Amino acid sequence: MNLNFYLIFLLLILFNLALLKKFDLLTKFINVYDSPDLLRKRHKKSTPVVGGFVIYINLLFILLIDFFFSQFILSDLFNRFEFISFFLIFSFFFILGFYDDKYLLTASLKLFISTILLFVLLNFNSQLVLDNLFFTSFKANIFLSEFGLIVTIISILLFQNSINMFDGSNLQFANFSLICTFFLLIKSNFNPFFLFLTIPFIFYWYLNKNKYTFLGDGGALSLSFFFSIFFIKFYNNSIIINSEDILVLMLVPGIDMFRLFMFRILNKKNPFTADENHIHHILFRIFKNNGLVQLVILLMSIFSIIIYYISDNLIYSILFLVIIFTYLAKKDKIKNL
């Protein structure tokens, strides 16, 4: 690792320490709060929604420094046009989510705008479009050809929705983001760029754990897009060979989203209607302690990943999680009879 690495690492730490020192001033400047309503939002006081902003400005710094100066990995993954396109759409997603945090947009409008943003990005950047999906568990290699664009858009939208629904209690997204970052770090052979990424996520983990801030839609939309593009880039560049290596990371939020959509549709409700049937709601009704809730969710993710890599078969991880979800749902139903 050269001098640039240590300099950037030090600057990031100092930058986040400065943010922490001036955090009250930052929250007053942003002026977006999540207030309790005694129904779904049961936190005790109004909490700033600046977690997404904190991570966003950190990532802007890391992305710009790496692409134009350090060149640890981004210049190998993106050409200049791809990077600028990715950078702009990443920023648009943050702005869209931030606007939603402040003024509340409908789910259908967010979905429409998100689809347009993805179409614009992917239509002009074919290297960000999935060409095929290789599954070792099914011994299948699906060539997408002309359906590549639509499959890529749908995949990113599903991931964004699952993360938006998954980000429901303190540390839930913070833990998930660290899992994704460590995955990219390992797959990149410990490229310094991904070491930099751990700093803002660890800083957000600290802020979220101590109830200083929530992530907000600005963070959920932009960061799910951020991870999606890196997963696709790693896959298209053969850094990741098997699409299941990515899917296993998304199993817990993905299965929870699918379960919620099916439950709402079967009960003749809008699948985007908010309720208290998310996995964190179920676990909190059982344990009454958010620390235990997050530990269980984290262990569900870790064990499903371990099962996948031991068996080399995603089906076993899916079965494991379906059993756990079913058991918890039944336990919650019995407990609340």
pLDDT 10s per residue in the chain (337 long)? 666 788 888 989 999 999 999 999 999 999 998 877 665 666 667 889 999 999 999 998 888 887 777 777 777 788 889 988 999 999 999 999 999 999 989 989 999 999 999 999 999 999 999 999 999 888 899 999 899 999 999 999 999 999 988 887 889 999 999 999 999 999 998 988 899 999 999 999 999 999 899 999 999 999 999 999 999 999 999 999 999 999 999 999 999 999 999 988 988 888 888 788 899 999 999 998 999 999 999 999 999 999 999 999 999 999 999 999 999 999 887 655 4
Cβ neighbours for 102, distance < 8 A, ≥ 6 positions apart: 32
Q: For residue 336, what pLDDT is reported?
A: 55
Tokens of 235: 């896959």
- The CA-CA-CA angle for residues 92, 98, 99, to 5°, reads 90
221 Cβ neighbours under 8 A, 6+ residues apart: 93, 94, 96, 97, 100, 110, 114, 160, 164
Contact 38, 21 (CB under 8 A): no
pTM of the model: 0.93
Closest Cα partner for 137 from 309, 325, 324?
Answer: 309
Angle 290-311/172-187 helices, nearest 10 degrees?
30
Q: Where are the beta strands (DSSP E) in the chain?
A: 33-34, 47-48, 132-135, 140-143
Considering Cα of 227, then 99, then 12, then 291, what sign does the dihedral take? negative
Q: What is the pLDDT of residues 246-296, one digit of tens each?
A: 999 999 999 999 999 998 898 888 888 878 889 999 999 999 899 999 999
Q: Which residues contact 303 (CB under 8 A, 6 or more apart)?
A: 320
pLDDT of residue 337: 46
Task: Note whether 173 and 197 are within 8 A (CB).
Answer: no
Rounded Cα distance, 7 and 145, in Å: 44
Q: How is the chain split into domains, by residue range?
A: 48-335
Query: Using CA atoms, how far apart are residues 172 and 271, in angstroms rounded to an integer?
Result: 22
DSSP summary character for residue 146:
G
Angle in degrees, CA 207, 33, 23, rounded to 5: 40
Please report the pLDDT score of residue 99 as a whole number.
95
Per residue in 68-90, pLDDT tens? 777 777 777 888 899 889 999 99
Q: Are 242 and 234 within 8 A, CB to CB?
A: no
The two structure tokens encoding residue 334: 């019995």
